[in-house]
Amino acid sequence: MKALVTVMPKPSVLDPQGAAAAEAMRHLGLDNIGRVRIGKVVEIDLPHGADEARLHEIARDLLSNPVIEDYTLEVVK
Amino acid sequence: MKFAVIRFPGSNCDQDCVGALAAIPGASADYVWHKDTSLAGFDAVVVPGGFSYGDYLRCGAIARFSPIMKSVKEFAAAGGPVIGICNGFQILCESGLLPGALVRNRGLHFVCRHVFLKVEQADSRFTRAASAGQILNIPIAHGEGCYFADEETLASLNRNGQILVRYCDKDGNTSDAANPNGSRENIAGIRNEAGNVFGLMPHPERACDPALGSTDGLVIFESILNG
């Protein structure tokens, strides 16, 4: 089984990487696009029956910083 | 007064800190490895700059879990002075010893140059050798130095006088043009509520010798020393 943790900057946090990527997309002719945000995905291989509550703690305390980021956790069987 | 300079894998300003401190009368400094667990015999802690753990995940995110950080937290809780410089500031924020976080510079570039800082509070343990409104010339060198905190946190930082230095121009104007990285309210350094933990992005240890272009950084270390 795998866990996928997606970490995204909070909407209120400046994301200059996303802004720069959006600008490049417009240069390439992709008009009418809105805001672009860049985050990261952490893929974790796990034994079956891993403790999901513990995974949430790790995602909150290590993989993301709640001051600037939000995370979602998806467990893929 | 004996300073502990914490060394993580990837720290690179540790020698500069020890060198600068050793040259100040009344101060001495020694390295403490991140796997050590004791700060016994030290009177102050410096968390120096660099790229601890290669800045993997987020700047300071992994250093936060180093064994020595438990001792640094206990040292801070007991009222001992702790200063985090650059990556050290990032580590103190990640550890929860200081509020807020440091994110990618507004302009995306790594910025390495001298900047001007306005001393906003001259009654703190880290700035009392300065005068209020004094302008310091100290270099910065970072890619993730944009200070972020939510409105509520910013309001309490202002209310409690926790913002010790802000980026300004040579005349002391804390304008957007003088903000090198997009930090909220031009914040360059803050202290904790108790007043014994200070983090800043600029490098005072690189401004302690006339040969390096400025000695304004001495004000920070002498403030700690005169405690």
Nearest to A37 by CA among A63, A11, A60: A11
| pLDDT in the model for residue B227 | 66
| pLDDT in the model for residue A31 | 87
| Rounded Cα–Cα distance for residues A30 and A20 (Å) | 14
Instruction: Please give the structure tokens belonging to residue B27.
Output: 């101060």
Q: Determine, for residues A16 and B94 on separate chains, whether the beta-carbon distance falls below 8 Å.
A: no
CB atoms within 10 A of CB B54: 10
Nearest to B198 by CA among B108, B105, B116, B117: B117
Q: Determine, for residues B61 and A62 on separate chains, whether the beta-carbon distance falls below 8 Å.
A: yes
| Rounded Cα–Cα distance for residues B197 and B201 (Å) | 14
Q: Determine, for residues A16 and B107 on separate chains, whether the beta-carbon distance falls below 8 Å.
A: yes
Q: Is the pLDDT of residue B206 over 80?
A: yes
| Mean pLDDT estimate for chain B | 97
Q: What is the pTM of this model?
A: 0.95
| Rounded Cα–Cα distance for residues B48 and B7 (Å) | 8
Instruction: Write the CATH number for A14.
Output: 3.30.1280.10
**For residue A9, what are the β-bridge partners?**
A69
Structural domain tally of chain A? 1
| Rounded Cα–Cα distance for residues B194 and A55 (Å) | 33
Nearest to B5 by CA among B54, B56, B39, B37: B39
Catalytic residue (one of B59, B94, B203, B208)? B203
Q: Is the pLDDT of residue B193 over 70?
A: yes
| pLDDT in the model for residue B213 | 94
Instruction: Write the CATH number for B135.
Output: 3.40.50.880
pLDDT band at B226 (very low <50, low <70, confident <90, very high): confident
Q: Determine, for residues A13 and B106 on separate chains, whether the beta-carbon distance falls below 8 Å.
A: no
| pLDDT in the model for residue B161 | 98
Between B106, B148, B182, which is nearest A68 by CB? B148
User: ipTM of the predicted structure?
Assistant: 0.87
Active-site residue B203, yes or no? yes
Chain B positions with Cβ closer than 8 Å to A = 57-58, 61, 65, 93-94, 99-101, 103-108, 146, 148-150, 182
Specify the DSSP class assigned to residue B214. B
Nearest to B174 by CA among B188, B162, B193, B161: B188
Share of chain B above pLDDT 70, in %: 100
Q: Which residues form the domain of A41?
A: 2-76
Q: Determine, for residues A16 and B105 on separate chains, whether the beta-carbon distance falls below 8 Å.
A: yes
| pLDDT in the model for residue B199 | 98
Q: Is B14 helix (H, G, I), strand (E, B) or coil?
A: helix
| pLDDT in the model for residue A5 | 98
pLDDT in tens, A1-29: 999 999 999 999 989 999 999 999 999 99
Q: Which residues form the domain of B74?
A: 2-225
Cα of first residue to Cα of last residue in chain B, in angstroms, is: 10
**CB-count burial class (<10 Å; 0-12, 13-18, 19+) for B36:** middle
pLDDT band at B117 (very low <50, low <70, confident <90, very high): very high
Q: Which residue of B has its CA nearest to A63?
A: B57
Residue showing tokens 């700047």: B59
Q: Is the pLDDT of residue B38 over 80?
A: yes
Q: Which residue type is seen at B36?
A: D
Distance from CA of B101 to the nearest CA of A (A): 7
| Rounded Cα–Cα distance for residues A69 and B197 (Å) | 24
The arithmetic mean of pLDDT across residues B142-160, rounded, is 97
| Rounded Cα–Cα distance for residues B221 and B227 (Å) | 10
Specify the DSSP class assigned to residue B130. S
| pLDDT in the model for residue B115 | 98
The arithmetic mean of pLDDT across residues B102-107, rounded, is 95
Q: Is the pLDDT of residue B81 over 70?
A: yes
Q: Is the pLDDT of residue B6 over 70?
A: yes
pLDDT in tens, A34-73: 999 999 999 999 998 889 999 999 999 999 999 999 999 9
Which residues, 6+ apart, have CB-to-CB distance to B74 below 8 Å? Answer: none
| pLDDT in the model for residue B133 | 97
Active-site residue B185, yes or no? no
Tell me if B45 sits within 8 A of B82, measured CB to CB: yes
Q: Which residues of A touch B103 (CB under 8 A)?
A: 9, 13-14, 68
Tell me if B28 sits within 8 A of B3, measured CB to CB: yes
Dihedral pair phi/psi, residue A29, rounded to 5°: 95, 5
pLDDT band at B47 (very low <50, low <70, confident <90, very high): very high
Active-site residue B109, yes or no? no
